[in-house]
Amino acid sequence: MKISALGNAPAHKLFDLIDIKRNARTEGPARSFKDYDVTVGTASAGVEVIEKL
């Protein structure tokens, strides 16, 4: 696979890998990032996902 300087996957496919849901253990309005669960799916071959959370 040829590596491109602009990346190897369209942005909309990368954004579809991210899933954000509200924690079931919290109540009331969300007041912190800890009130959410963030998961990142598996990217296709040739794409490296670097998590910085």
- Alpha carbon 16 to chain centroid, angstroms: 8
Domains of the chain by residue range:
1-53
In degrees to the nearest 10, what's the CA dihedral of 16, 35, 50, 18? -10
- Give the pTM: 0.66
**pLDDT, tens digit (0-9, with 9 covering 90-100), for 1-52:** 566 777 778 889 989 999 999 998 888 998 898 999 999 999 888 788 887 8
